[in-house]
């Protein structure tokens, strides 16, 4: 009975070791894929920005609409930052009054 337990335990240990090795391999592959995706995303973003690095007169109508949409997004983000700064400034002003 003891010998059977030992064999079963060693078999389980070997299987566990194999599974750990496979899991480690999958994790490493996932990390590598994630890094590659980040590099590709940066390339895609920089290529997208490069399209707008020519004089505005040379942009197509479609590119002008895309540029307008990007500028509107930036405007909204800047306005949000301004609102946050004004709110923080008001809070600082009110806290000094007390």
pLDDT of residue 5: 67
- In this structure, the answer to whether residues 60 and 40 fall within a common structural domain is no
The verdict on 27 and 64 lying in the same domain is: no
CB-based contact 52:67 (threshold 8 Å): yes
pLDDT in tens, the chain (98 residues): 566 668 888 888 888 888 988 898 899 889 888 888 888 888 777 766 777 778 889 889 998 998 899 899 999 999 988 988 888 777 777 776 55
21 and 60 fall within a common domain: no
In this prediction, residue 75 carries a pLDDT of 93
Q: What pLDDT, on a 0 to 100 scale, did the predictor assign at position 4?
A: 62
46 and 59 fall within a common domain: no
Domain tally for the chain?
A: 2
Residues 90 and 86: their CA atoms lie apart, in Å, by: 6
């Amino acid at each position: 009975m003891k010998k059977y337990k030992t064999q079963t335990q060693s078999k389980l240990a070997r299987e566990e070791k194999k599974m750990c090795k496979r899991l480690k391999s999958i994790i490493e592959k996932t990390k590598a894929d994630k890094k590659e995706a980040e590099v590709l995303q940066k390339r895609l973003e920089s290529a997208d920005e490069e399209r707008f690095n020519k004089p505005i007169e040379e942009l197509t109508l479609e590119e002008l609409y895309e540029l307008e949409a990007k500028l509107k997004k930036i405007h909204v983000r800047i306005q949000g930052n301004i609102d946050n700064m004004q709110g923080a400034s008001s809070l600082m002003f009110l806290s000094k009054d007390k």
